[in-house]
Chains A and B, each alone.
Chain A
Amino acid sequence: MSTTTIALPEVSTASRPFTLLLHDWVTTVDHKSLGLLYIVYALLFLVVGGIEAIIMRLQLIRAHNDLVSPQVFNRMFTMHGTTMIFFVAMPLLFGFANYLVPLMIGARDMAFPRLNAFSFWMTALGGLFLYFSFLGGDGLYGAGGAPDVGWFAYAPLTAKTFSVGHSTDFWTLSLLVSGMGSIGTAINIIATILCMRCPGMTLGKMPLLGWLNLTMAALVILAMSPLTAAQVMLVVDRYLGGHFFDTQAGGSAVLWMHFFWIFGHPEVYVLVIPAFAFASEIIPVFSRKAIFGYPVMVLATLGIAFISVSVWAHHMFTVGMSSGANTFFVLSTMAIAVPTGIKIFNWLATMWGGKIRFATPMLFCVAFLFQFLLAGLTGVTLAVAPFDWQLGNSYYVVAHFHYVIVGGILFTSFAAFYYWFPKVSGKMYNEPFGKLHFWLFLIGFHLTFDFMHIPGLLGMPRRIYTYEPGRGWDIWNLIVTIGVVFQAAGILVFLGNLIWSYFRGKPAGNDPWDAWTLEWSTSSPPPAYNYAVIPTVRSRRPLWDLKHPEDPDWRYE
């Protein structure tokens, strides 16, 4: 073991004219720049999707409210769902994967840098295209307004007969375009992880984040392709007069449901597996212990991915499948609780016996554990088909999947933001404001989504722009809306903290968390080439080995 010092050429830090800077960002093929573009893009759309949610919550604050028309409300929930899934969650997680995967496996870039840039711009333009639908406006006949068919766009509502004009075309074409971008990124992530690891990093010594993103990318390929195929069919129906989902010519509405959910359910795991990846990196560092049961964590991830492609029809318990099919999907859906439970227990065991430091990233991860536990358990109640006949398509389901997506994915994403912010910016974020963000968002989250379960149990279906008084729903909807205020305040503190810390934060140094994975061995922010010398590793925690030469990990692995 030797520490060598090598000289590097000075990089000019003089400010460049704006046009040149813009040119740099548009033409970049660097995985870190593209990762940041993805993340900034996702944050912009997070604000847009959040505003749509606020409009919906204000409309539902009391019975028979008339803040917005039904047409506007229907557009809001369609755009909110589509935006949050395809243009916030996916780009955000792809952005982190882009930024972190090459750094953590000791590579200098992704396997296909130009494909990477292409994929980003496909996703970005897909999102912008979706929002062009607003510009069509109502005044021009047939020119659209935003899509209003719901984010899973059940046939035959999307047929020309029921959706005249072009709003549905905007929806389907934007998902087609961004879907191709997603497939490109997935191919890139797989090739990067399989072909670009630094010497010594066998698959068994790769950080869990690598394994989880590998699984995520494989699921994107399995899930996104059917969606793309189904969108092509919808385009054939709408533009060429095809009959795939035309129920008047013998087409099947149920076929669309199958195709959509064959994408839709693995998609949940596409989003949640990278969230698991953040938790799997952050919890050990702040507990000061190695991850508990690394091989089991890998197997559980693969198990989740494997089972997740056979559970899609649990979204369709109410469409009248045979009792045999219903029973099969009950069993397969519940089976997924087993590997998911294993993961929660392994994180718990990682914390057990550690010395837990409650910095902001860890706070978000601990909240994630509690919330994901509850989300998983409400998921089990929904997996029981007869119970789902009552709960399906009610506010209980809405509360459940927001518990997964906000309570699970968004919370761990916030953890990831705070954890890697020093690495990306070279500056430390403001810790008191980070904690303020955490508590505001925690309170808002629980006010909104805990109480959202209740109107579902009292018979309130989703996607209604107003409701009748006297059903016992009013008070719960009021509380849910109040929670939104706290969440919005939390987001503002978060964005303010990011911007302020970027300009005014204290220098962070290379390794502010005393962490163990490779990205903390290079400078903050990392140079364009990541590593002056490609590192060689002998264990899953190369920096632990370096810091504890008397007791390195590779003795035990």
Chain B
Amino acid sequence: MSTVSVGLHQRSLDWRLPSRGRVGMWCLIGAETAIFTIFVVAYLFYIGKSVSGPQPKDVLHAPIFYSICLLASSLTIHIAVRKLVTGNIAAFARWWLLTIILGGTFLYGTAREWVHLIFDEGLTVSTNLFGTTYYSLVGLHAFHVTMGLLALSVVAVFYFAAKLRHEHAERLEILSMYWHFVDAVWVVVFTVVYVAGV
């Protein structure tokens, strides 16, 4: 047996530090915000600079219904997490699945819009600057929604496997921070693409 001497002041004191999950998620959100900022700047910078092809005002229609779905999902995920905190697992599951459905609906809306733009309007990434910036920005957001939905679905799988318990509430709260962020980004993307850009 070896020994070490411990000479530092031993004293019990009330020592609380922030949760590392929460801090980590805030940092991730910070990094993602910077990434989205660069894409938004590029979008704004290139508004009206396309030398050819369809212009935004000719082909874009604001997806109001799908946007409402996504924004509503922020509310439902918040309620779901509250239910888990109070230990009501069944209610949690209902609200959680509703969130997944709302997020899925939003993605379906994006997909429909893209099908329309590609096949009816002939707008692709390589058509013009509008196509490049539009698909990149909206696509980047859709990618984040997809990632979020995957994470939400993993939780759903755990629920159906009856592995989800009250003590997971904080982790899901952290996951919901990410989801709120994705929703907030949509507000910016919507404003830039469908309001300022047309």
Residues of A that sit less than 8 Å from B by CB: 1-10, 111-112, 183, 186-188, 190-192, 194-197, 199-200, 221-222, 224-226, 228-230, 232-233, 236-237, 240-244, 249-252, 255, 259, 262, 518, 521-523, 532-533, 535-538, 542, 545-546
Contacts and interface: CB of A to CB of B under 8 A. Distances in A.
Contacts of B2: 7-8, 10
Given A186-B27, A532-B6, A533-B6, 15 more contacts: A5-B4, A7-B2, A111-B24, A186-B31, A192-B20, A221-B30, A225-B33, A230-B38, A240-B126, A241-B125, A244-B133, A249-B52, A250-B128, A262-B38, A522-B4
Contacts of B46: 250-252
13 contacts: A1-B7, A4-B6, A111-B24, A186-B31, A195-B18, A195-B20, A195-B23, A221-B27, A243-B128, A249-B128, A250-B49, A255-B42, A533-B6
B6 A546 contact: no
Nearest to A252: B45
B51 interface: yes
Contacts of A522: 4
Contact of A191 (B7, B20, B52): B20
Nearest to A545: B9
A227 to B, nearest CB: 9
Interface string B36-64: 11110010011001111000000000000
A225 B32 contact: yes
Contacts, number: 161
Interface of B: 1-11, 13, 15, 17-20, 23-24, 27-28, 30-39, 42, 45-46, 49-52, 125-126, 128-129, 132-133, 136, 140
B6 A187 contact: no
Contact of B1 (A7, A221, A233): A7
Contacts of A6: 3-4, 6
A196 B24 CA distance: 12
A403 B9 CA distance: 43
B35 to A, nearest CB: 4
Contacts of A7: 1-3
Contacts of B10: 2, 4, 533, 536
B38 A9 contact: no
A190 B17 CA distance: 13
Nearest to A200: B13
A243 B132 CA distance: 6
Nearest to A220: B31
A183 B31 contact: yes
A156 to B, nearest CB: 14
Contact of A225 (B5, B38, B51): B38
B17 A196 contact: yes
B24 A225 contact: no
